[in-house]
Each structure stands twice: as C-alpha cells, then as structure tokens.
Structure 1
Amino acid sequence: MTLSPEQAIHFGPYRIYPGQRLVMEADQPLRLGRRAMDILLMLLEHAGQVVSKQHLIARVWPKSVVEDINLRVHMAALRKALGDGQAGQRYIVTVAQRGYSFVAPFSLESIEQRPQNDANEPGGHNLPVRRTRMIGRQALVDSLLAQLSQQRFITLVGPGGIGKTTVALRVAEQLIGRYRDGIRLVDLAPINDPLMIGAHLATALGLRLHDDDPMNGLFTCLRERQMLLVIDNCEHLIDAIALLSESILRAAPQVHILATSRESLRAEGECVQRLESLDCPPPIAVLDRAQALTFSALQLFVERAMASHDSFELSETDLPLAIEICRRLDGIPLAIELAAAQVGNLGLSGLLSQLQDSFRLLAQGCQTTLARHQTLRATLDWSFELLNACEQTCLRRLGIFRGGFTLESAAA
C-alpha cells in the first residue's frame, strides 16, 4: 500500500497523517520519536505482511550500522505508545525468526475529514498530561516566566537528558490562559525533512493550508494571533527553524516562541537559556539525610527510586552511596532516572559498583518516554547522528583522550 499525504489511516482510536508524520489519539497528538514513526509507517505500507528486521533496519537507519537491540527498543516504545496488547487490542505482532507485521483492521479517509479538536479553540492548548513531579527547576521556570513577558523568543539549550522538554512544558503549563489564542506544542522529533516543518506546524495549529505558497498562508493565519508556540527538539533542523522563527516573529507581533535544542539556533532575536545539571552535594561535605535531600539531584534519585521500588528507603547508612551515584552521573536528570530504576535489582552498593559500565547498566528506562531517551546510548546515538561526516570523524579521533584535552594536543 502506498501511503498518500492526502489520506489519513484510521485504526483503533488512532488516525495517522503520513504527510505530516502525525499520530492523533482521539483529539490529542500522540508523541512518537522519529524512529518509532518510521517503523510504524513502514509496517502500515506493508499491512498484513511480514516485514523482516533487516528491511526495517535498512529503512529506519539507512546510513548507520545498528544492532537488533536498537530496533527492539524503538519497537517496544511504539507498542507502548499505542497500547498494543492492552484490553485485547493487537496492532503489531512479532513473527518468530522473520520480523513484524501490522495486523489490525484499518480504513483510509480523506484528509479533509480530519476532525478539529479542542486544542484549536481560542485559549486552548495541546500540552501532554504531566505524570511526574518536576524537581530542581522551579527557580529556572520562574525566571523564564518573567523573561517571556519581555522576550518573545527563548531557546532552552543543553545536552540530551538535561531536562529541556520538562522545563519548557512546565513553563507552558503555568501560562495556560494567559494567551488569548492559546498554547501549541510542536514536537519536531518525528520530522527529518525541513520541507515538512510548515505542514507539521500547521497541523499543530489546526490549520489547513491550500495556497500555492503554504508558508505565506501560515504567516497570514498567525498574524493576528496572540499565542505561545513551544517548539521542541530543534537540534536536527536548526537552520530551517531559525529562518521560520524569524519569519513568524516578523509576521506575527503577538506570537511568542519557546524552543528547545541541543545547540542555539543563532537566530535574530533569540535569547538563549542554558540548562545546567541538577545540584549534587559537594565531595567534601559531611551531611545528614535532611541536609543532603536539599540537593535536587539526590531528591530526584530518591523519588524515582521509590516510584520504581516501593520498599526503597534512604537510610543514613546508605546516604553516602546515593550521593556518590548522583555525583558519578554528573547530576544529569535522565541518567539519574535510569539509575534509580535499577535500585530494586541491584541495591545502592551494586548500582554504584556497576556505574563504571554505565551504558550496560543504564540500558533500560521507562518505555513511555521517547525512544532516544530510554537509554543513555540512545541519547548519545541521537546526538552523534546530528553531526556531519567530518564532525563524526573528528569526534572519533578525539576519543583517544581521557578527560579533557588542549587545542594544541588535538591538532597534533
């Protein structure tokens, strides 16, 4: 079956819009990573047939050599996002020794039949429901709220797993009702073609653009709107998003933009806010439990450990182990959450002893997160793939250095 951008695919509670690489569950967009979206689209193209693992890997990772585990991680994320296997629903089956098959009944419908949702009503939003408490970022959120009253364009910048999306969504939540025309989240993770950005943004805004110049139609629709755009995961489309943001700010004087990226967009009018790691107790400090829990990295570790292992309790005896774990992980929220999920299996001493092999240790995370955030390796793989061939070669060569290096030693 050839997937047409003029048609939507309907199965279960979902509608898939291939042209926009968008999945809608009832009236809300379903967040899928780029790889999971690629897998879903390929399975839909061959619905009812078995697609081999080799063909899926060749389609989803055309320029990389990857292992089967990469495919399994993203397939698990896709199934979890779709609720596959829950309440008797089955969309994707594994065919032993062969591959995967999409087996659910589906129908095709004209793109014009797409329903409008409440997020497109004046003052509405399409923000996801928050499932966990944000820790250690409230001062930053308060600062950003103040900045957005003065600055129309802010980019949150930091490495993968540092918490950019968490902070952006928390800021947006606190601004619900403050913008006449609402707040729209635009997640760019599923998009890899700059030419699709306009259509993806229009879909998030509930717009149908039929003009010969769709971008001009987009700017016209935004011109009189007073709203906040949260543009998430810009790092792989920096040049295109920089130009788009500048154009939106010129065309729509009441639109504000809050973006997230692993590097700044270097766009006119952009205000860059860099995210730092969570606070860890200093190495020389002698702290009791109450004092140590004033540090956000330890707060996050303890809360997530209790969530994954309900009998976990941080004792004064175990306190130094927990503190050292947070230090070893440099206060990076994603790394701390992945480590905390292993406490029930390894205990604190076992966890600390295995941190020297952090990739193997932190190889399983929450299946409901984006696939590239389910493991530290996936996070670094995503970052590595954003580099061009020359940059990748340079990084591999710099890998001979342990710790830091000088410019002179790198050039030698």
Structure 2
Amino acid sequence: MAALDRPLNFGSGVMELGRFQVDLGTRELRRDGVAIPVGARAFDILAVLASASGRLVTKDELLSVVWPQTIVEENNIHVHLSALRKILGSDRNLVLTIPGRGYQICVRRSEVAVPSSLGVPMRVAPSNVALVGREMAIQRVLAMLDSSRLVTLVGTGGVGKTRLALEVARRAEQDAAEPTYVVELSGLTTRDSMVDAIMEACGQPTGCAGVPEGGVACALSDLRGLMLVDNAEHLIAHVAEIVEALFATNNHVRIVVTSRERLRISPEQTFRVDPLETPPADASQTDILAHSAVRLFLQRASAMQVTVDADGRQLQLVGELCRRLDGIPLAIELAVARVADLGLDGARRCLDDRMAFLTGGYRTARLRHQSLRATFDWSHALLSHSERTLFRRIAIFDGLFTLDWVGAVACDTTLSLSNAIAGTDALVAKSLLNVQMEGPRVLYWLYESTRAYALQKLRDEDELEAISVRHERLAVCLPRRAYGGYLNPEPGSVSRTSPAARPTR
C-alpha cells in the first residue's frame, strides 16, 4: 500500500459520542455496540474531531491531519462530512460546521473521557526533559507570585508558556507545601465547559452550567494553593470574570494563567514569555553555543540521535536555523525532527516553505502543537475579520515599520484607518505583532515564521500583487534611511537572513 494511502494511526481507545462509539484502535464506528460501515477518510475526520473533545478544529488543521502530504480542495471535507452525517442519521448534528471557523463535535462533557487525576489536587511531576534557557524566567515569575495573586504568562504560540508555567507550579508547590490545581482549557469551547473543568480540577461537584460567576466563586471560597489555568486565550473574557469573582471571595488562592493575551483585570501582573536567545550571524563558535536556542536544538538533536559536529560549518547552520525560527521552542523542535531526515542543509532550504516543512510534532501533543501551521491557525481563528485583513497585509513588511506605513499599505475601502489602528493594538495584545520603541517612535515587526504564515494568507486572498504595488510606492516615497536601510529584495518574499532592520534578541 502506498504511504499516502495508509490509514492514519490515532492510537488506541474508545470514545463515546452519545449512542456511538469510536474505536481508534480498530478504526471502527459502532452504534449501540453494533459496527457500521464508514469510509476511511470519513473515519479519519471523525477521529480528529472526537479527539479534540469538543474543541473547534479549523479547516486547515483538519486538512493537515487527514491529508498530511497531499494538496486537496476544501470540498473534500464537505464530501466526507456529508457521508458521515448520512451514517449518523438522526444524530447528524453531532458533527457541527461553524461557518468561517471550522468544525467540532457537539457532545456533553460527561460523554468525553476525563482523566481521573483531574478530580483531586494535582501534583506537578518534573518534566523528563530539561527546560532550557528559562531559569531566570522561572525565578522572575515566582517572585511575581510573592507580590501578586495573579500572574498571566503571555506570548506567541509555541514559545513554551505551558512548560514554563508547569515548572513554576511545581516549584511553588514544593516551596509552599500547598496543592496545585491544573485546569486545561485548550479542548473546551464554552463558558459552561470551562466552569466544569475548574470545578473538576478543584475536586468539586460539576454541573454548574448557567451558575453566575459569584456562585462558582462562593463554592471555591475556601480553596488554598495555586491554580494553573492553561491555554485561556479563546475563553479569555470568561476566565477574567471567573478569576475576578474568585478573588472577591477567596483571599488565599494564587492563580497562574497562560494565554496569548492578558486577562486585563486589576490584580493581574503580566509576564511576557520571549523566544529563546539566538546567535547573530557573525557569532563565533563559542558564542553560538552560549545561546539558549542553540542549546535546545542540540538537546533535542541528541535525544533523536541526530549528530551535529561541533565544527564551525555545522554550528553556523544550527545558529542560522535557530535565528530564522525566531528562537521559538516549538519551531526548533519540529525542525530537529526534520533534520533527522534531510540533514542541516536540507532543513535550511526547506524553511522557505516552513508551513509545509515544520510538521510531525509529538503524537501526544495537542493538534495545534503538531505543526507550525496548526499553531498559527489557532491564533488566526481568534481574530476578527478586520484583524485578519490587517494581519495578512502587514506581512509585506520585512523588518521594522510604523503605523503610518501600515496606513499607506494596508488601508483602503475594505479596511479603514481606525480599524487598522485598533487592529494593530489587537495583534500586539494577541502576541502576533511585536513592538519596539525607538526614542519617541513606536515601531512594529513580525517574527519570520509569523510573517511566512501571514504572507500565505495574503496569497490565498489574491491580494499579494496589489499590496506589493502599494509597498513599492511607499518605498519610493521614503528616504532609504527613513525606511530602516532595508527594502525587500522581492515583493512578498521571506528573507533568508535576518535583515538589519529586524531586532535581535
């Protein structure tokens, strides 16, 4: 059987969906215990949606998992979903299409298997992989928890917020001898499911659907210890309301939240989780090895038995890969997995198509952490229409740019200046756009991987040519010095090296 025709492996286990059972091990769909025929692709789609435990799955995420090495039309999803719904019959509404966003399984939380460890306070076990380059961050967050009861770790997708938060929770648990309550939100889509998850994690009875925040807070008024609320960005308003209500009734609990944006409530202190440090292009061999992004790359390469010689040529390639991946841990780990197949030179060449190249994350990882595209899909799905328009259009800038330049290039009859200003603030808040101060000026810039994703969106919307023309007009009107000394070598291209106009860490 050809590699592309082999059935996908989703592991083992049986998932209950009302009257239906999805057996991942035998790839069998049963209704009331009786097997019913289902096509291979339709089963793959059902397995992906069921494994998401009610979380919304984007179109691109579904395509990347079900057709991982094939370019297919979105209509393929519709065809197989139609066949699947026909099989489900009167239960066809188990599979929902959310227009413009994606697909999800509509199940009650009681129908989804929840690890029993969530029913009691959870001891955070130490990771079996050393956390590289984060010791100062750990100490800083622990110090913030001494002076504030709420600390939110914010940062771009894949930067390592969860791993940092778990290590902070583990050390806080050791120091204070108090329990930790871990609340995982990534698979949830509603306020009620979030409330149930919080109550379960704290060992309290669930079934609080529709209960006001104050009622939930009263039920947890005697809670002591540290609560870790992980992956809160898609439910951020509900999380903020619950946390604020809890603090009004409870003077003991401390809370750490991980999110791509902050809660924006009064007790909150924010810690921005930056990417790991990357070496400059002219770094010596010793300097390259001193940077945390390189150390992570070599650690993961060693774990995968990928040999990297400690000579100048190979280390320079590792430094370049880490630099072009912006020091983002998830991107580095995905790249190391491909180096095992392609070598360092091959991996570097493939970065020009990194969204297709950086796949194959841990099988046990959340779907959005199994490829770089899925990570960005998650963030992109949370943007409004005008924010998406702005996001893809500013991808034309490689390096630093100003708000005035955004207005000149991105604004037209479909995007007003006021929407562009509000959208810029939103993209910064959601960790998709970076800010740098240069005297009185505010400058913006995109990580290279973020820009690559946004450029693809610009192409998909057939706007690349029009935005490139506006960009070229802007470049002609501005003195070269005012433009930062850098002009794109090719409109819409992703630079092969970090330009002088882009900040370095």
Deviation string 1:155-199 (CA, Å, 9 cap, x unpaired) is 000000111001000001112244565101101101111232211
* Corresponding residue to 2:242 among 241, 244, 261: 244
**1:136 aligned residue (133, 137, 153):** 133
What is the rounded CA distance, in whole Å, between the counterparts of 1:17 and 1:268 in structure 2?
41
| 2:268 equivalent among 259, 267, 270 | 270
Deviation for aligned residue 1:126: 4.8
Change (3 A) 1:46 1:315: farther
1:23 aligned partner = none
Checking the alignment, whether the CA contact within 8 Å between 1:209 and 1:218 is kept in structure 2 is: no
Match of 1:70 in 2: 64
Q: Is structure 2 residue 152 aligned with structure 1 residue 155?
A: yes
CA contact (8 A) 1:318 1:348 kept: yes
Question: For the structure 1 residues 237 and 271, does the alpha-carbon distance in structure 2 shift closer, same or farther, using more than 3 Å as the test?
Answer: same
Inter-CA distance 266–46: structure 2 relative to 1 (3 Å threshold): farther
What's the CA shift for 1:408? 2.5
Q: Which runs of 5+ in 1 are unaligned?
A: 1-11, 19-35, 37-42, 75-94, 102-110
Q: What residue ranges of structure 2 are gaps of 5+ in the alignment?
A: 1-11, 23-28, 50-54, 69-79, 88-109, 409-505
DSSP-derived class of the 1:229 partner:
strand
Residues 1:267 and 1:73: Cα distance change in structure 2 (over 3 Å):
farther
Number of equivalent positions: 344
Q: TM-score, normalised by structure 1?
A: 0.72
Partner of 2:418: none
Q: Call closer, same or farther: CA 1:62–1:172 in 2, change over 3 Å.
A: closer
1:288-316, CA deviations, whole angstroms, 9 ceiling, x for partnerless residues? 3xx43221011000010111125444434
* Per-residue deviation, residues 200-225 of structure 1 (Å, max 9, x unmatched): 11111121146784744532332122
- Kept in 2: contact 1:293–1:299 (CA 8 A): yes
Letter in 1 for 2:333: E
Secondary structure at the aligned position of 2:285 is classed as coil
After TM superposition, the structure 1 stretch with the greater mean CA deviation from structure 2, 380-389 or 58-67, is: 58-67
Conserved? CA contact 2:44–2:66, under 8 Å: no
**Which residue of 204, 208, 225 maps to 1:207?**
204
- Give the counterpart letter for 1:159 in structure 2: T
Identity of aligned residues (%): 33
In the alignment, the residues of structure 1 paired with residue 292 and residue 161 of structure 2 have an alpha-carbon distance, to the nearest angstrom, of 16
Find out whether 1:182 has 2:179 as its counterpart. Answer: yes
Alignment RMSD, CA only?
3.8
Q: 1:335 aligns to what? A: 331
User: C-alpha separation between the residues in 1 aligned to 2:247 and 2:160?
Assistant: 26
Aligned to 1:172: 169
SS at match of 2:147: coil
- 1:322 is displaced (CA, Å) by 1.0
For residues 76-91 of structure 1, the aligned pairs below 5 Å read none
> Does the 8 Å contact 2:217/2:242 carry over to 1?
no
Q: Distance in 2 between matches of 1:388 and 1:115?
A: 32
After TM superposition, the structure 1 stretch with the greater mean CA deviation from structure 2, 153-162 or 394-403, is: 394-403
Q: CA deviation at 1:386?
A: 0.8
Contact 2:278 2:322 in 1 (8 A): yes
The one-letter code of the counterpart of 1:146 is A
2:152 is paired with a residue whose SS is strand
Equivalent in the alignment of 2:352: 356
Does the CA-based 8 Å contact 2:214-2:245 persist in structure 1?
no
Q: Take 2:388 and 2:400, find their aligned partners in 1: how far apart are those partners?
A: 18
Q: Following superposition of structure 1 onto structure 2, how do residues 9-408 of structure 1 map, counting pairs within 5 Å?
A: 48-50=35-37, 53=41, 60=49, 65-66=59-60, 69-72=63-66, 124-127=121-124, 130-179=127-176, 182-209=179-206, 213=211, 215-288=213-286, 291-408=287-404
Q: Is the CA contact 1:366–1:374 (under 8 Å) kept in the aligned structure 2?
A: yes
By relative contact order (CA 8 Å, sep 6+), the higher-ranking structure is 1
In 2, Cα distance between equivalents of 1:209 and 1:266: 27
Residue 391 of structure 1 deviates from its aligned partner by 1.8
Deviation per residue, 1:8-43 (Å, 9 max, x gap):
xxxx9889799xxxxxxxxxxxxxxxxx9xxxxxx7
Q: 1:245 to 1:390 in 2, by over 3 A?
A: same
State the 1:340 CA deviation: 1.2
SS at match of 2:257: strand
1:263-288 per-position Cα deviation (integer Å, ceiling 9, x unaligned)? 11111211000011111122333233
Match of 2:157, SS state, is: coil
TM-score by length of 2: 0.60
**Distance in 2 separating the partners of 1:293 and 1:157:** 27
Greater radius of gyration (CA): 2
Rounded to whole Å, the distance in 2 between the matches of 1:45 and 1:233 is: 34
C-alpha spacing 1:64/1:183, structure 2 compared with 1 (3 Å): closer
Q: Is the CA contact 2:152–2:258 (under 8 Å) kept in the aligned structure 1? A: yes
C-alpha distance in 2, partners of 1:199/1:359?
35
What letter matches 1:140 in structure 2? A
When residues 219 and 185 of structure 1 are mapped into structure 2, their CA distance, relative to the original with a 3 A threshold, is same
Contact kept? 2:213, 2:245, Cα under 8 Å: no
- The CA deviation at 1:125 is 1.7
**Cα distance, 1:147–1:299 mapped onto 2, change above 3 Å:** same
The DSSP-based 3-state class of the residue aligned with 1:149 is: helix
